[in-house]
Structures are given as C-alpha cells and as structure tokens.
Amino acid sequence: MRSPGTTSPTAGPEPGAALREALRYALRTPTVGPLTALAVAVLVFSLTTDTFMTPGNLSLVLQQTIVIGTLALGQSLIILTAGIDLANGAITVLGTIVMAKLVFEGGNPAAALLLGLVVATLLGLVNGLLVARLGLPPFIVTLGALSVVYATSRLYSDSRSYPVTSDLLDFWGHGVHLGGVLVTWGTFLLLGLYAYFWYVLGKTGWGRHIYAVGNAPESARLTGINVRRTILSVYVVAGLLYGIAAWQALGRIPNADPNAYQTANLESITAVVIGGTSLFGGRGSVVGTLIGALIVNVLRSGLTQAGIDSLYQDVATGTLVVVAVGVDKVLRRGDTR
Amino acid sequence: MAHHHTVRRHSRPRRPRQGAVLLVVGTLLLASACGGGQDSAEDGGTRKVTIGLVTKTETNPFFVTMRKAAADAAEKNGAELIALAGRFDGDNEGQVAAMESLIARDVQGILITPSNTTGVLGAIAEARRQGILVIALDSATDPEDAVDATYATDNVKAGRLQGAYVRTALADRPPELIMLDGTEGSSVSQQRHDGFLDGFGIKDDSPAIRGRANTNGDRNLAQTATENLLQRTTDVNSVYTINEPVADGASAAIAARGLTRQVTIGTIDGGCDGVRAVRAGKYAATVMQFPVRMAEQGVDAVTEFVESGKEPSGFTDTGTELITDKPVRGLASHDTDWGLQRCWG
C-alpha cells in the first residue's frame, strides 16, 4: 500500500497539458481556425478605423458576400467529394443572361427565372454525368465547361449586357430596414441556404455519403453507398445553387453582363479553402466556407477603409489561402501518423 | 407496327455505350477542327486585299462594334477582313499569337488595338519587316512610331474634358473626389487618370482625393469599391470613373447611400447604355469616343496603301465629344439625343 504522501510521476497535472489539449482540439475542429482569423480581422479593423464596426458597414459586407457565398456553397459540396468546379461563375453568368434577356425581350419574368434555374441545373447535370459516369477528372470537365459556357453566354447575349427591370428578378437586392440598416432578402436567403446545407450534411444519409465518398470512395462503395449517384447528385445540386446565385446576382447588380464574374470560380475556391475544407475531399464544413467568404470581404472592406492599396488586399487573401492549405496538410500528416 | 416501339431492351450493355458517346464527341471535335482550316484569301488571278484586325478581346461591346464597323468597311472596299482577338484585356501573348497567325496568312495590313503599349512591339516589327502595313487603333504604342499610323481616342484629352466638366459642375464647392481607376499599369488607365486630374485642376497627391481603387473596368468591383470607400467618408462630391460600367457600379453604390444629389459622376465611353444612363441622371456626363471611325479609317488606309502605295503616318485623333443634359459654362457639349444617334454597342 502506497502512503498518501507519495505521488507517481504521471499522476499530477502536468503544466500546459490542458492548454496543449485545447489547442489540439481547436486544430481538429475545422471551423475554429477560420473563426479565429475572422475575429482577429474584425477586431483589427474595429480598432484601426472608426467606420468598420458600424451596422451599415456590416450589412454591406454581407451584401458583398451573397453571390460568392452561394457559389462557394456549391463549390464546398463538390470539393467535399474531392472534386473541383471551375465553371461555377460561368454557369451563373449564363443564368443571369437567360433570365434578364428573356424579360428584356418582353418575356414573363417567372418563366425566365425558371428557365435560368433549369439551365444552370442542367449544366450541373452534364458536368456530373461526365465526372460520375465517364469518370473524367472534375478539373478537366469543369475547365472545358468554363470555356463552353462563357462562350455560350457571349453568343447568346451578342456580347452586350441586359438591364433588369423586373421586380421578381431583382428581388434579393431589396430587403427590410432593421434599426435603420438595410438587410437584403438575399442575406436571409444566404444564411438560410447555409443553415439548410449545414443540417443536410450533418444529419442526413446523403450528407454522410458525401463525406464518405470524398474520404475514401472505394470504402464508401464497399459499404453499399452508390458513389456515382452521390457524385452526380452533388453536381446537380451545385448547378441549382449556381442558378440561385444568378438570381441573387441580379438583385445585387440589376444588369446581366456576359463578362461578369470571371474570377468567381477562384474566389469561391478561396472561400472554401480559407474556411478549412480540405481540397483533398471528405473533410470540412459549410459553416467554415461561409466564414471563409466573410473573411475575404472583411479584408477587402477593412483594407479599403484603412486606405490601403487594393493590390495589398490580394496579397493578404493569397497568403491566407496558402496558410489554410498548409494547416490542412499538417493536420493530414497528423492523421496518418 | 406499334409493337416495335414498345419493345424494351432489358440488358443494356454499358461499356459499348460509353464508347459510343466518346466516339461521337471525338468525331465532332475532329470535324470542327478540320472545318476551320479553309483559306479563302486567294481569289482567282487578282488577289483580294486582306486586312487583319486584332482587338483586345472579342467580348467588350466597344470591340464588337469596332469589328463590325471594320467588316462593313472592308466589304464596301471589296476587301477581306480576318478578325482575331486576345482573350482578355492585357493578353499580350494572345495578341502576339494573333499577329503571327495573320502574318502567316499573308495579309497586307494589320489593325491592332494594343492591350499594352509595348507588349506586341516584337510582332509588330516582324509584320512591318515583311512589308505589312500596321495601324494601331484605340490606343497608341510606345514609342508611337512603332506602327505606321495610329487612329485613336486621345485618352489624355478625353480625361481632361471629363475632369474639366466635373470640376465646373462643382461650381464653388471645394472638391472631394473619389477616383475609380481601371487596371494597374494599363496605359489607357494612366492617360485618362492623368488627363482627368489635369482637367480637374489638382495633383495626384492632393488631399482633395478622398479615396481611390482599381476596378479593372468591372461593374461589380466598382460597386463594391465605392461602397467600401463611402464607408470611410461620405464627404464626397465628385467621382472619376475609367469607363461606363464602372460609373454604373459607382452610381448604384452612391444611390444606395442616398448621396446621388450631392455627387457628380463623370465617365468616358459613349456606349448606348452609358448615354441612356446619362439621360436617366445616373451620371452627369460621359465623353464619347468613336470606335466606328477608328475602324473605318484604318480599313480605308490599308486599302489605299495596297492600291496606290500611299502610306499613312502619325497619330490621328478620332475625336471625343462631351455628352450631357446638364451643360456647363465654357465647355462645348451635346445632349443625350445627339448621343443616342451616334452611340455604339
């Protein structure tokens, strides 16, 4: 029997162990890193400018996030299956052109809207079929789609832009005034979409299948998951989201321009990556993506208000992307150890 | 008869079907690749005048207008036009490739809207070495005599006109200016920017400049930049914009802050959407440029060169006109009715 006075070397609370454990936990929870980065950015800009932390400005940052945020949501789903989508901006642009041109030429706004959504969803279906059925690499499929869809937009629009006059088409740009600040319907839609997909990914079979397929497709297949159908469904859902993004884009800027959103594909990937979702698939969360998209716009807004050249905004965003991928890589290495 | 249609094949062999899809796609791609190779430059004994046009992009309405005008002028002169373009504004490599392809096709003259003042100088020198007349449209090269002649908007002058108008419209209010530039390093951006400040009567380091941003000439980026700049200060009464899409984005952001009445926005282009926006009061004035004149004069010059050997030279200003429905004292301008009859795009 041991006397009460003696202690074994391991029993006592080792100094710093709790902290290390907390750090370990934080690193393994994908949204902690992005959330910290967002908090730091907001804090810095709140302290360095008197204009950043105002309700009006925060409302603006949200409005600036809506289109890319929706695109990044579709991009997240695809990246979770270890895919990538380079064509999402192009699909959105074609959606805006279809909607605005038909109304401009006297068409029924509801029919134009529906057709725009259908076109975007069908393009998602085509990409999905090529990836899931023919087994072509997503990078190649969507790279091809990027050219084809942009060219189609330009051909269909005669390279001109179409103003939007329909109340239905620019709906998401309007909203309610809460305490003197405009909160657009588009903001509510964006938050609603994220909440919905957060639920779907975490709580439904389809969501679990997406993670499983992205993590290890062969294991997923062996456990009875229809891998092809899961991947196909993700591209179709993403296509629909890009159609919704097109509708939101017409609310943000009531003018459909065939040259718009040329870098949206990269911006959406940026948001996903900064949000902590792994480019290798199977790991991450859409909440992280929303935070990632917000970080990009907080940086742009804050740095502009601080009077810093727009080129430094690109430097800051690019650095964050590399850091985020670096963190992911380190975590992966930890997994295989 | 009807029975045949209702027969269902129960076992669908998957592999051959995928093979068939690939075969069809492959054949289509091959067919389209072969179809593009025809050359129609030779026309019996007498060779038609062939003129190449290289624009910055194929998509900007300005260049679409220019290409159409060049095609019409070529048809009128009995010449053939081969129109090529870079893939985006600043695509020097794409423009060089287009030049090389035109040289290989043995054209007699090349009209080029250089993306960059120096980016295509090598290809231009090679074309001229082979006896091809090269004319710059829309923007000059550096040095200007790297080409035989230039037909373009004098962008410094256009900016000066824009600046003078906006400053005069302010009357005695001290200037509080936001500058929405184009692309960092682009010569047109720099010339318009400098011209504007000159016409506006302040220097680049003046405290009257309350904020500035690069917009790449993009409506979306312009709106976002203006929103963010207006968060910094709403003490703004004047806005410089590089072109009309940027003016559109800026006016949307300004309207959303309820500042439309206190802010005068000036811009440059003269597209029909832009002139309509001036008429609607979204911005006060635009400086119209004339892409059709550039294209027509360029095509005529090449035709004349081939037929009579007369070589054009120097910089020809194809003109700028101030379009506004709120004229100011001391500056000649036209109203939007005049503008709508002559606008492009």
What pLDDT sits at residue A165?
85
How many domains does chain A divide into? 1
Residue B1 pLDDT grade (very low, low, confident, very high; cuts 50, 70, 90): very low
Asked if B218 reaches chain A (Cβ–Cβ under 8 Å), the answer is yes
Would A3 be classed as within a structural domain? Answer: no
Would A50 be classed as within a structural domain? Answer: yes
pLDDT tens for each residue of B290-304? 999 999 999 999 999
Q: Which region among B29-43, B67-81, B324-338 has the lowest average model confidence (pLDDT)?
A: B29-43
Asked if A45 reaches chain B (Cβ–Cβ under 8 Å), the answer is no
Residue A39 lies in domain: 33-325
Q: How many CA atoms are closer than 13 Å to the CA of B260, on its beta-carbon side?
A: 14
Chain A segment 176-205 residues within 8 A of B by beta carbon are 182
Q: Residue A144: count other Cβ atoms within 10 Å of its Cβ.
A: 15
Choose between B147 and A21: higher pLDDT. B147
Would A249 be classed as within a structural domain? Answer: yes
What pLDDT sits at residue A334?
60
This prediction's pTM: 0.78
Would A19 be classed as within a structural domain? Answer: no
Question: From A249, which residue of chain B is nearest by alpha-carbon distance?
Answer: B220
What pLDDT sits at residue A233?
97
CB contact under 8 A, A305 and B59: no
Would A334 be classed as within a structural domain? Answer: no
Would A137 be classed as within a structural domain? Answer: yes
CB contact under 8 A, B225 and A133: no
Beta strand segments in A7-138, E? none
pLDDT higher than threshold 90 for residue B15: no
pLDDT tens for each residue of B65-89? 999 999 999 999 999 999 999 888 7
B143 preceded by a cis bond (ω within 30 of 0): yes
In this prediction, residues B155-178 reach a mean pLDDT of 96
Contact A245, A268 (CB under 8 A): no
CB contact under 8 A, B231 and A158: no
Question: From B21, which residue of chain A is nearest by alpha-carbon distance?
Answer: A134
CATH code at A210?
1.10.3470
Mutation for B interface: A92, A154, A181, A304, most B CBs within 10 A: A304
pLDDT tens for each residue of A203-228? 999 999 999 999 999 999 999 999 99
What pLDDT sits at residue B87?
81
What pLDDT sits at residue B116?
79
Asked if A259 reaches chain B (Cβ–Cβ under 8 Å), the answer is yes
Asked if A310 reaches chain B (Cβ–Cβ under 8 Å), the answer is yes
What pLDDT sits at residue B9?
40
Contact B51, B81 (CB under 8 A): yes
Radius of gyration for the alpha carbons in chain A, expressed in angstroms and rounded: 22
Would A111 be classed as within a structural domain? Answer: yes
Q: Which residues of chain A have pLDDT under 50?
A: 1-11, 336-337
| Inter-chain CB pairs, A–B, below 8 Å | 77
What pLDDT sits at residue B18?
55
Chain B segment 255-284 residues within 8 A of A by beta carbon are 256, 273
Would A254 be classed as within a structural domain? Answer: yes
Q: Residue B215: count other Cβ atoms within 10 Å of its Cβ.
A: 27
Residue B26 pLDDT grade (very low, low, confident, very high; cuts 50, 70, 90): low
Average pLDDT, chain B: 87
Share of chain B above pLDDT 70, in %: 87
Predicted ipTM of the assembly: 0.71
Choose between B140 and A200: higher pLDDT. A200
Asked if A48 reaches chain B (Cβ–Cβ under 8 Å), the answer is no
Query: Which chain B residues are Cβ-neighbours of A134 within 8 angstroms?
Result: 18, 21-22
C-alpha angle A160-A85-A154 in degrees, rounded to nearest 5: 15
B58-63, Cβ contacts within 8 angstroms, sequence gap of 24 or more:
B58/A154, B58/A159, B58/B85, B59/A154, B59/A159, B59/A258, B59/A259, B60/A159, B60/A259, B60/B89, B61/A159, B61/A160, B61/A161, B61/B271, B61/B344, B61/B345, B62/B138, B62/B269, B62/B271, B62/B291, B62/B344, B62/B345, B63/B113, B63/B291
* CA proximity to A306, closest of A111, A23, A41, A19: A41
Question: From B234, which residue of chain A is nearest by alpha-carbon distance?
Answer: A51
Query: Which chain B residues are Cβ-neighbours of A305 within 8 angstroms?
Result: 228-229, 231-232
CB contact under 8 A, B58 and A307: no
